[in-house]
Structure 1
């Protein structure tokens, strides 16, 4: 009985950690992986300024008996704590490139 309870609690905690990690990130830019240069540029701007962010490549899921013809997508995700700061940094970077 106690072993089963420990396993159930462990699974619950694992699911909670995965769910909490999903909620901690906000997508601020997205593009097909073949044309993701502006997303990668934004990522380098933000990481250079110390913003917690990550690039994720999302591939379409396969159904039973089908082949994947979908295009993978690259997403720039920012930690929710840094989202407003990231928006400001990207706006400043856009202004700098506009006046060059």
Structure 2
């Protein structure tokens, strides 16, 4: 039969259905802090996207103790993930070139 299949579910039944748990990240949060037992940093970079990661790398190479924090489960899951195109504009910055490889 070529007609759509409709299923009626009472609203009360939907309200009793448990919400599935949110997926947990497989990336340990602040592993460095947990392993070293310290939370003293020279710099805290907020955001692990195309700006935050190269900035954190450049600061670390310059000898700074850096924490790079992001709300996503892994780096680059924010606006970078939704960006269109593939332009690589590094302006010769070694840390950005390293990240882009």
TM-score by length of 2: 0.33
Structure having the larger proportion of residues in helix: 1
Which protein has the larger Cα radius of gyration, Structure 1 or Structure 2? 2
Structure having the larger proportion of residues in strand: 1
Bigger RCO of structures 1 and 2 (CA < 8 A, at least 6 apart):
1
